[in-house]
Structures are given as structure tokens and as C-alpha cells.
Amino acid sequence: MGQRNKAFGANFGRVIALLGCTALAGCGMAFSDKSTDPQPSPADPMAGIPRAEQPARCPGEGAALQVLGSGGPIAEAGRAGTSYLLWIDGEAKLLIDAGSGSFLRFAEAGGKVATLDAILLTHLHADHAGDVIDILNTGGFEGRTAPLTLVGPGDAPRFPATSEFIQRLIAKKGGAFAYNGGYGDGTEGKAQIEVRDIPSLGGNGEVTPLDVSNDFSVIAYPVDHGPVPALAYEIEVGDKAVVIAGDQSGRSLVFQMMLEDASPAILFAHHVINGEQGQPRGLHRTPAEIGQLAGAMKPARLVLTHNMERSLSRIEGSLDAIAQSYTGDVSVAADLDCYAL
């Protein structure tokens, strides 16, 4: 113990001496203060990417669609999982998808479950539905009593129907978050969730109008997303329509045919892969196929969202491929972007 104490004392003395030298800038040692050195700023991740002019916030009058989350399944800074919020006269009226991270964006946007007419899910991948339970959980503190409609795809191998998915989350007996079980029957201070499953059948299911609001209309379109049951949605507010294509492959021919020449105000297309070799095929449209969809649909504006680094890093090639079939306005979304209708 004696030698250990001596060693400690010697080391302590050196620390004190070094601190003294630092304070006096002496002892023959050079110390540089890095605190004022210019630091290189990180490159702007959106540099060179076409962006739509954005308001300071969504308008308090009229209708607007806000992109809550513009990212994909890989954690990439600044982008939450896919999610959209329809605003009408300053109130959040419709939530479409609730991907991982969108819970925070929902709060940042000022959304309230209490004002929603419905929640729509395109499919049950985590980057589209992972935060549904979080958003429902926060809604449980808002005192809503009116039933809440929730719509999503039917089942397929390895994918439950949306109704079963919600039951697995909130069932009072055996649910992963059973303490939110009041949503199942409208008790415990929570609104009852009324779930509707829309069969996708690989994109060949029936096109289904949804009666969920007096303020807007919705049509659900089955689309092909490989083995994953998936839907796209057309939302009409007054004389303006927007289409959320969701995750879909180029095999979604019925969807494309049904909306040919529809001319919506905005088509939101999911820009997940680039057109190069080695990209996962069969789940998503390539940029060329996005262009073909837009060329057939003829939207006034095409917005690319569900973006990933692998697609944005090749944005020039994507834009060139899209331009082969669609020559209208194209921009890339970021989280919390807002598009007035």
C-alpha cells in the first residue's frame, strides 16, 4: 500500500504541474486553443436536390398535405419513417402512415389525435406503421370520445390483416400494449378504434371508396408491393386531389390504369431505389417507372418522398429517368414539408 500511495502521489503531482503549466502557457510546452479554430461545416445533404418552396408553417386556412416523415427503413439522419398529415383550416384531419420517428414529427407539426377523422395505413412495414401505437398512446391523453376509423390492407402470409395488427397491439388480454386496451371498446377514457381491412390481392383487389369524413373523400387502391399487402390512396378536398402512391412496384398496372389522366394536384411517389444494378427489385418502382406513372397520371406536381441515401445520391440519374416520361414539376420532400392545395 505504501508504494501504491507513493505512485499515486507522484502521478497527482504531475497532474497538478501540468495543469499549472497549461494555465500559465509555460513549461516549454505548446498548447493551442481549438475552440476558435474554424470548423468545416458538414455538407448540405440537400445540396443539388430540387426542393419546393416551403411556407414557414402549414396554412391555417384551406387544405394542405404535410410530409411528417420523408425517409425509409434505414436510420438516416434527419428523416423519419413515412407519414403524411392532411390539414384543413388549421386542424389535423387525416393521418396517412405512421413510420418510425413520425411520433415526434406529429408533435412538432402540432397534430392532435382528437381532431383526426381517420388513420390510413398503406402497409404494415415498420417504416410505415411502427409509430401507430405511440400516436394512439398520446391521443389517450386528449379526451377524445368519438370513434376513430383506421384503415389498412388485409392479410397475406407473414402479414396480419390491419385489424389483427391493431389487436396484437392493444388487446386487453395479451396485447403488447394492453394498457391501451380501451381503444378496443371505447372504455378507459379512450375512443373506440373501428378498423377496416381492404384486401390487396397483389394489387388486384377492389378499388374501395372510404366514407370517413364530411370534409374530404378517400379512395383506396390496392397496389403490388411484392409479397406485402399494400394500398395507395387518392384524397380529394374540394376540387383538389392528391395521390399517395405508397410503396409499390411497376407491376401495379391496375392502379396506374385507373388513375390515367386523373391530373391530381400532387402525386407523392416513393423514391426508394435508383435505377442501377444491385437495387432490390420487385418491391418498389424505379425512377423510370415513377416517371411512367406520373406520365400516365399527369399530376401538376410530382413530389419524391420515402427517400434514402441510395436514391438521393444518384438524384440526377433519377431525374433524367423520370423526365423520359414526365416533364412536369419535380421536387424532393424533407420532413415537415407542407404543400398547400
* Of the candidates 130, 94, 129, the residue with the CA atom closest to the CA atom of residue 109: 94
User: Which residues are CB-contacts of 273 (< 8 A; sequence separation ≥ 6)?
Assistant: 279, 280, 281, 284, 286, 308, 310, 311
Given a cut of 50, the residues of the chain with pLDDT beneath it are 1-43
CATH number, residue 160: 3.60.15.10
Residue 218 maps to a domain? yes
Residue 70 maps to a domain? yes
Residue 79 maps to a domain? yes
Residue 98 maps to a domain? yes
User: Across the strands, what pairs with 219?
Assistant: 209, 234
Distance CA 87, CA 28 (A): 66
What is the structure's pLDDT at 12? 39
Residue 36 maps to a domain? no
Tell me the torsion sign for CA atoms 264, 270, 276, 282: negative
Residue 33 maps to a domain? no
What is the structure's pLDDT at 278? 62
Residue 166 maps to a domain? yes
Residue 3 maps to a domain? no
Could you report the per-residue pLDDT of 283-294, keeping only the tens digit for each? 999 999 999 999
**Cα 239–Cα 240–Cα 243 angle in degrees, nearest 5:** 140
What is the structure's pLDDT at 44? 56
What is the structure's pLDDT at 11? 44
**Residue 192: what residue type?**
Q
Could you report the per-residue pLDDT of 96-113, keeping only the tens digit for each? 999 999 999 999 999 999
Domain that holds residue 164: 63-340
Q: Tell me the CB-side half-sphere exposure of residue 45, using CA atoms within 13 A.
A: 13
Q: Mark residue 36 as left, alpha or beta (left: phi above 0; alpha: psi -120 to 50; beta: remaining).
A: alpha
The number of distinct structural domains making up the chain is: 1
**Cα 307–Cα 258–Cα 341 angle in degrees, nearest 5:** 55
